[in-house]
Amino acid sequence: MKFKLESTLVGVAGEYLVAGELTLRGYIASITLRNSRGIDIVASNSDGTKSVSIQVKTNSKGENKWILNKKSETFFSDHHYYIFVSLKTLGTRPQFYIVSSKIVAEYISRNHREWLLGQKSDGSERKDSSIRNFRDPDNFHLEAWHLIDI
């Protein structure tokens, strides 16, 4: 059965799924308040000496594509990660893609510039937009939990 949730609930589900996966790996994971823009989870090692921030993006179509915004091009650090969640069907484990924020920023910036150079289907010029897309067609970041080094 496919997911039929409103987008807010899909996002919340993704955050809890990521927090659960981090906990199973021995980390302390805390979901932030909804007004913590850009940071959905703060995770640390068990003694609290290292921590990272995480932005979670979830899609419920089982696709390998997530929508971000322009801010993601400049909001990055060595200790900030994206975890992209792909929900396929109820009762199956989601897929998790773990990517450093620097790689996301570089990818969406380059991808958006290339997109702008193209044309609409009617041949006219594309107009800039704040929407950015991240894809991992080769599943390079699939289940790359080792990247979170805390």
List, for residues 35-47, the tens digit of each pLDDT value.
677 899 999 999 9
Q: CA 15 → CA 4, 11, 52, 55, distances in Å? A: 17, 6, 15, 9
Predicted TM-score (pTM) of this structure: 0.92
pLDDT single digits (tens) 63-96: 899 999 999 999 999 999 999 999 988 788 999 9
Distance CA 51, CA 44 (A): 4
Q: Domains of the chain (ranges plus CATH)? A: 7-147 (3.40.1350.10)
